[in-house]
Structure 1
Amino acid sequence: MDAKVVWLFVFVALYWSYCIFWGIKGALSAKTASDYFVAGRQISLWVFILAATATSFSGWTFMGHPGLIYRDGFQYAYASFYAITIPFTGVLFLKRQWMLGKRFGFITPGEMLAYYFRSDLIRILVVLVALIFSVPYLGIQLRASGFLFNVLTDNMLSTNVGMWLLSTVVIIYVASGGLRAVAYVDSAQAILLGGGIVVIGLIAMHAVGGFANLNQGIAALSQIDPVTGKAMFGQTTPDGYSAYIAIPGVIQFGAGLGTDSAPIGGAWTGLMVLTYMFGLMGIQSAPAFSMWAFGNKSPEPFAPQQVWASSFVIGFILVFFTAIQGIGAHFLGADLEFMAKFPDLVNNVMGTGLGGLDIMQSEGKGDMLVPQLVYLMSETAPWLVGLLSVCALAAMQSTGSAYMSTAGGMLTRDLLKRFIIPNASHAQQKMYGRLGVILIVLAALVVASTSSDALVLLGGLAVAYGFQMWPALIAVCWWPYLTRQGITVGLIAGLIAVTLTESIGAQYMPWGRWPMTLHSAFWGILFNFSLALIISAMTQKQNEHEHRMIFHNFLRDHASLSPEKRGLIPVAWIATLTWFFFGIGPGAVIGNWVFGDPTNAETWTFGMPSIWAWQLLWWLLGVGMMWLLAYKMELSTIPHKEVVALHEDIGDIQLDIDKPG
Structure 2
Amino acid sequence: MNAIGIQLGIVVAYLCLALVIGLLAFRVTERTAEDFYLASRSFGTIVLLFTTFATLLSAFTFFGGPNLAYAQGPEWILVMGLMDGIIFAVLWYVIGYKQWLIGNRHDYVTLGEMLGDRFGSVGLRGLVAVASLFWLFPYVMLQQMGAGAALSGLTDGVLPFWAGAALVTVFMIVYVVLAGMRGIAWTDTVQGAFMLVIIWVAALWVLDAVSGAGAATATVAESNPEFLALGSDFYTPEYMLSTAISIGFGVAMFPQVNQRFFTAGSKTVFKQTFVLWPVLVLLLFVPAFMLGTWAAGLGIEVDVAAGENVVPLLLNEYTPVWFAALVIAGAMAAMMSSSDSMLLSGSSYFTRDIYRPFVDADISDRREDLLGRIGVVVFATATFFASLRQPGTLIEIGDLAFSGFAQLAFPVIVALYWRKTTLSGMYAGIGGSQLFYLLAVFTPVVPATYFGWNASVVGMGLGLVLTVGVSAATTAAPGERRSRFLYGSGAD
How much has 1:33 moved relative to structure 2?
Answer: 1.7
Is structure 2 residue 374 aligned with structure 1 residue 435?
yes
Work out whether residues 214 and 328 of structure 1, in 8 Å CA contact, stay in contact via their aligned partners in 2. Answer: yes
How much has 1:326 moved relative to structure 2?
Answer: 2.3
**What does residue 2 of structure 2 align with?**
2
Alignment match of 2:292 (pick from 326, 330, 353)? 326
Which range moved further: 131-140 or 68-77?
Answer: 68-77
**What does residue 177 of structure 2 align with?**
175
**What does residue 94 of structure 2 align with?**
92
**What does residue 147 of structure 1 align with?**
149
Q: Distance in 2 between matches of 1:47 and 1:312?
A: 16
**What does residue 552 of structure 1 align with?**
486
**What does residue 363 of structure 1 align with?**
305
How much has 1:44 moved relative to structure 2?
Answer: 2.8
Distance 1:510 1:151, change over 3 A: same
Q: For 1:213-232, what aligned pairs fall within 5 Å after superposition? A: 213-221=215-223
Give the TM-score normalised by the residue count of structure 1: 0.69
Aligned with 2:462: secondary structure? Answer: helix
How much has 1:56 moved relative to structure 2?
Answer: 2.4
**What does residue 477 of structure 1 align with?**
416
How much has 1:103 moved relative to structure 2?
Answer: 0.4
**What does residue 292 of structure 1 align with?**
260
Distance 1:551 1:270, change over 3 A: same
**What does residue 470 of structure 2 align with?**
535
Work out whether residues 465 and 521 of structure 1, in 8 Å CA contact, stay in contact via their aligned partners in 2. Answer: yes
Distance 1:449 1:455, change over 3 A: farther
Is structure 2 residue 44 aligned with structure 1 residue 44?
yes
**What does residue 129 of structure 2 align with?**
127
How much has 1:499 moved relative to structure 2?
Answer: 2.4
How much has 1:432 moved relative to structure 2?
Answer: 0.4
Work out whether residues 62 and 197 of structure 1, in 8 Å CA contact, stay in contact via their aligned partners in 2. Answer: no
- 1:274 alignment partner AA: L
Work out whether residues 66 and 326 of structure 1, in 8 Å CA contact, stay in contact via their aligned partners in 2. Answer: yes
Distance 1:14 1:273, change over 3 A: closer
Structure with more helix by fraction: 2
Q: Distance in 2 between matches of 1:404 and 1:62?
A: 20
Aligned with 2:183: secondary structure? Answer: helix
Distance 1:70 1:509, change over 3 A: farther
Distance 1:211 1:461, change over 3 A: closer
- 1:62-107 per-residue CA deviation (whole Å, 9 max, x = no partner) reads 1121121121114443223223323332121111111111101111
- 1:376 alignment partner AA: E
- 1:2 alignment partner AA: N
Alignment match of 2:274 (pick from 300, 306, 321)? 306
RMSD (Å) for aligned C-alpha atoms = 2.5
Q: For 1:104-503, what aligned pairs fall within 5 Å after superposition? A: 104-221=106-223, 242=226, 245-248=229-232, 265-266=233-234, 268-281=235-248, 282-308=250-276, 310-319=277-286, 321-334=287-300, 354=301, 357=302, 363-364=305-306, 367-377=308-318, 381-453=320-392, 459-502=398-441
Work out whether residues 43 and 297 of structure 1, in 8 Å CA contact, stay in contact via their aligned partners in 2. Answer: yes
Q: Distance in 1 between matches of 2:317 and 2:227?
A: 29
- 2:458 alignment partner AA: W
Q: For 1:507-526, what aligned pairs fall within 5 Å after superposition? A: 508-509=444-445, 511=447, 513-526=448-461
How much has 1:324 moved relative to structure 2?
Answer: 2.6
Q: Distance in 2 between matches of 1:454 and 1:214?
A: 27
Aligned with 1:452: secondary structure? Answer: coil
Aligned with 1:300: secondary structure? Answer: helix
Q: Distance in 2 between matches of 1:57 and 1:89?
A: 18
Distance 1:9 1:434, change over 3 A: same
How much has 1:440 moved relative to structure 2?
Answer: 1.2
Aligned with 1:301: secondary structure? Answer: helix
Give the TM-score normalised by the residue count of structure 2: 0.92
Distance 1:550 1:410, change over 3 A: closer
RCO greater where, 1 or 2, for CA within 8 Å and sep 6 or more? 2
**What does residue 58 of structure 1 align with?**
58
For structure 2, the 5+ residue unaligned runs are none
Q: Distance in 2 between matches of 1:27 and 1:66?
A: 39
Distance 1:16 1:476, change over 3 A: farther
For structure 1, the 5+ residue unaligned runs are 224-241, 249-264, 335-353, 560-661
Q: Distance in 1 between matches of 2:188 and 2:87?
A: 21
- 1:316-342 per-residue CA deviation (whole Å, 9 max, x = no partner) reads 4323x23431221132123xxxxxxxx
Q: For 1:4-23, what aligned pairs fall within 5 Å after superposition? A: 5-23=5-23
- 2:391 alignment partner AA: S
Q: Paired residues, what number?
A: 489
Bigger CA radius of gyration: 1
Q: Distance in 1 between matches of 2:379 and 2:405?
A: 17
